Structure 1
Amino acid sequence: MKHLEDLMGFADDHLIPLVDAGLGNSAYLVDLGDGRAMAVDASRDLRALRAAAERRGLTVAFAADTHLHADFLTGALQLAADDGATVLASAAGRRAFPHTALADGDETDLGGLTLRALATPGHTDEHLSFLLLDGARELGVFTGGSLIVGSAARTDLLGADRAEELAQAQYRSLKRLTELPDETAVWPTHGAGSFCSAPPGAERTTTIGAQKQANPLLATPDEATFVRQLLGSLGTYPAYFDHLGEINRRGPAVLGSVPGLAALPAAEVRAQLRQGAQLVDVRPVVDFAGGHVSGAVSIPLRDQFATWLGWLLPDDTPIVFITAPGQDLAELTWQALKIGYERLAGYLNGGMTAWTADGGPQQTIELLTADRIADRPVLDIRQTAEHTAGHIPGAVHVELGGLAARTDEAPNGAVVACGHGERAMTAASLLQRAGHQGLAVLDGGPGDWSKATGRPLEESA
């Protein structure tokens, strides 16, 4: 019991989780006790990490990456450039920038604590977990995309043809991790909300013993069952995942200063659009519904903004944003930059007021409460698992991530539905851009429809 209390005390005193709720990930800042710190799986958006380090008077001396991330650009190079941090990463990752290349069993002296690399392939080929030791005592293990709370991270990011092989490797990696003492803390990168296949739920850290008791994948009787269960749980993932790993291998550009976003007059916005720029409207749903520039894609600025930007728009064309007064331009910029979207042309100065004052036309999309849908056709654009769990009877289902290529499947005059309205408005903007007319968006979700009508939702097999 005393040992467990000591472990919990270490985490309370020295471990600072930094949660990115939008991506469903956690980075970690470890206070090494001598004015230095180690960052684990830090993203390019280092604002929270730097604030935590500053509060404690810490300098980041080490930046460890468990794997070549697919969902965000690593912040390790920026920490190396700004703080002189030593980058710790897998030798098998063949990273094309200076780093300490680690193989299975290699140890790094952190100045009192030791970091031991454990090869845990599966999520990626070169994946490492990092076991943090105080002498011979296992304090905890940074498991990245290997063992996560209630599951294991997906194994199909390197292609469907390798998913089974990597799932087999993931099985062996999890078995290896469960050989650690039960009281060993588990600090994963991927957590609830991550498209790297973390299950829903609030817990982001755990212990080896807790996972042996509660993780359904660890209860499978053999490798074949594990592989079948893991692969059967995988949903779709954002399109940008397919190329971010290679950018992280080469190394993202180091930023020399905090980037700003240029204020563009309406005439310059028109010029940008004529030259092929994408127009993204980040205002709240109700604002977009009331009036927006023709062809604009609605992606409201919220925690999940980066996910949908990276899923729906290319990263190789300039982007012009339309914002509402008071929206945080720095947040908008960093969400784009952390997933490698760097061609940010600017934002419409003065917003829609300036656009209409300059003679610019606008379109609208009807926003309907659940009691006003009546018998209109419904298009449900949620993830398959959400739709299956309960949807408005008769709703056509097309996931938002694939809608741009399947707009012809949307019913004429559809009411578009998601869980709350944000994704539905994004979908409606894509449909409107493709020529659909008479669209509406459900203000709420299927549960609101069921409550308003007194009718049950329909479940799918």
Structure 2
Amino acid sequence: MGFADGHLIPLVDAGLGNSAYLVDLGDGRALAVDASRDLRTLRAAAGRRGLTVAFAADTHLHADFLSGAVQLAHDDGATVLASAAGHRAFEHTALADGDERDLGGLTLRALATPGHTDEHMSFLLLDGTRELGVFTGGSLIVGSAARTDLLGADRAEELARAQYRSLRRLAELPDATAVWPTHGAGSFCSAPPGAERTTTIAAQKQANALLAAPDEDTFVRELLGSLGSYPAYFARLGEINRRGPAVLDFEPALPALTADQVRNLLGQGARAVDVRPVADFAAGHIPGALSIPLREAFATWLGWLLPDDTPLVLVTGPGQDLAEITWQALKIGYERLAGHLEGGMAAWTAGGGAQERIELVTADRIAGRPVLDIRQAAEHIAGHIPDAVHIELGDLAARSDEAPQRAVVACGHGERAMTAASLLARAGHRDLAVLHGGPADWAKATHRPLEEGA
């Protein structure tokens, strides 16, 4: 069996828009690249093949998730491979540009590709002298390059110029070389929409507009002009990954809490996070609770909207996966999980707990009420309900006084809108409603066009 027949196993985290990779080295050992602290999918893939992870490579100090490399070193004895320029404070093999590591038949060559971060490194996988593929992390990605403003707006242009040089270096690889990026569609590290998560050098030469930029200044202007907002927690994780995330030597669990225990915790400053579906939250929830429906994007909004040092009480519905909640929180460094309300809202109300409601409305019932669009700027510009006030969800807590009263809150489908409505309710807004659906549903129901532009 040749390498192309399945030795590379992509492990996609659709919620964060990222891919990790597991490489079967053919001798019972494996290489893991950009593995997350949530190793469940990687463990399952390795287990199906009877693999032990011998090497764990990180392309950069990740801002959007905690690395699983330290855990793999602890559990499997994996050798951690990373850039020497990252000055990581835990045991690892520090690599400089051009350094190679024998993987037992295959070779991994380090290529310094700064831009997304200062110490960013791509890893070229070789079979003898043949370039099989390159793990590009947040350098060359499908259709673009990752953002360069994570170290501060004052360094964004400098790093964009470094990114320009890095992409051109990667473009010099043979056309047939596979490109295996970490960041993909859905990543706030800046990737365009699209289904493809891997590509080739040849395909990117033909289709990547940034590679087609005629000069460095044009590249920088186009890259910086494409950057939107990103979650607040990105500012914290790079340093944690440099120090090394804490090893988990136990199976994380979410303890069961009584209604009285929840009430006491909330009185001491804990926050209630309600992960039930939108309709369930609308029908009745703990006053002040933040709605973040459990789905692939749960970690993103948890990390964007709540501090990591506040104890969290989870309100769940029947059948919701407590392990999924726990791991989504842990992979972005949220470890103060006090537990979940045993028995859900039924137990809360049975114990005398008050509840609040938020109305869900269809598109034909919002006439005469102000609309608050809380989607990302690019989504709003592409098409919104006419006269809608626009405040991104990530900015809403700080700008709640700018939101219209009696607003109908809208997003693409309803999940983010309910999160926004719960933030506004906590800030004192009343008579709120959430649009069931999104602007496209409004256009269909009213037979009116959406408005484009800012």
* 2:57 counterpart of 1:64: yes
Task: Pick the aligned partner of 2:82 from 74, 84, 89.
Answer: 89
1:371-390 map, 5 Å: 371-390=364-383
* 2:132 counterpart of 1:132: no
Indicate the residue corresponding to 1:226 in structure 2.
Answer: 219
Shift of 1:12: 3.4
Indicate the residue corresponding to 2:404 in structure 1.
Answer: 411
Paired with 1:37 and 1:50, the residues of 2 have a C-alpha distance of 11
In structure 2, give the amino acid aligned to 1:363: E
Indicate the residue corresponding to 2:271 in structure 1.
Answer: 278
Unmatched 5+ stretches in structure 2: none
Indicate the residue corresponding to 1:100 in structure 2.
Answer: 93
Task: Pick the aligned partner of 2:164 from 160, 165, 171.
Answer: 171
Shift of 1:10: 2.3
Indicate the residue corresponding to 2:201 in structure 1.
Answer: 208
Paired with 1:409 and 1:376, the residues of 2 have a C-alpha distance of 16
In structure 2, give the amino acid aligned to 1:34: D
Paired with 2:383 and 2:251, the residues of 1 have a C-alpha distance of 44
1:311-350 map, 5 Å: 311-350=304-343
- 1:334-374, CA deviations, whole angstroms, 9 ceiling, x for partnerless residues? 00000000000001111000000000000000001111112
Indicate the residue corresponding to 1:10 in structure 2.
Answer: 3
How much is the aligned-residue C-alpha RMSD, in angstroms?
A: 0.7
Q: TM-score, normalised by structure 1?
A: 0.98
Paired with 2:91 and 2:436, the residues of 1 have a C-alpha distance of 50
SS, match of residue 210 in structure 2: helix
* 2:48 counterpart of 1:52: no
Shift of 1:75: 0.2
Paired with 1:177 and 1:283, the residues of 2 have a C-alpha distance of 45
Indicate the residue corresponding to 2:300 in structure 1.
Answer: 307
Task: Pick the aligned partner of 1:119 from 112, 122, 127.
Answer: 112
Shift of 1:195: 0.1
SS, match of residue 406 in structure 1: helix
> What's the % identity of the aligned pairs?
83
Shift of 1:11: 3.5
SS, match of residue 52 in structure 1: helix
- 1:49-86, CA deviations, whole angstroms, 9 ceiling, x for partnerless residues? 00000000100000000000000000000000000000
In structure 2, give the amino acid aligned to 1:433: R
Paired with 1:56 and 1:257, the residues of 2 have a C-alpha distance of 24
Task: Pick the aligned partner of 1:353 from 327, 335, 346.
Answer: 346
Shift of 1:405: 0.3
* 2:387 counterpart of 1:394: yes
Shift of 1:317: 1.1
Paired with 1:375 and 1:216, the residues of 2 have a C-alpha distance of 43
Indicate the residue corresponding to 2:210 in structure 1.
Answer: 217
Q: How many residues were matched structurally? A: 454
- 1:89-127, CA deviations, whole angstroms, 9 ceiling, x for partnerless residues? 000000000000000000000000000000000000000
* 2:251 counterpart of 1:265: no
Task: Pick the aligned partner of 1:453 from 434, 442, 446.
Answer: 446
Indicate the residue corresponding to 1:3 in structure 2.
Answer: none
SS, match of residue 165 in structure 1: helix
Paired with 2:90 and 2:327, the residues of 1 have a C-alpha distance of 23
In structure 2, give the amino acid aligned to 1:211: Q
In structure 2, give the amino acid aligned to 1:453: T
Shift of 1:409: 1.0
Task: Pick the aligned partner of 1:242 from 223, 235, 253.
Answer: 235
Paired with 1:144 and 1:196, the residues of 2 have a C-alpha distance of 11
Shift of 1:376: 1.0
- 1:233-264, CA deviations, whole angstroms, 9 ceiling, x for partnerless residues? 00000000001000000000000011110100
Structure 1 runs (4+) greater than 6 angstroms displaced: none
Paired with 1:148 and 1:193, the residues of 2 have a C-alpha distance of 12
* 2:126 counterpart of 1:150: no
Unmatched 5+ stretches in structure 1: 1-5
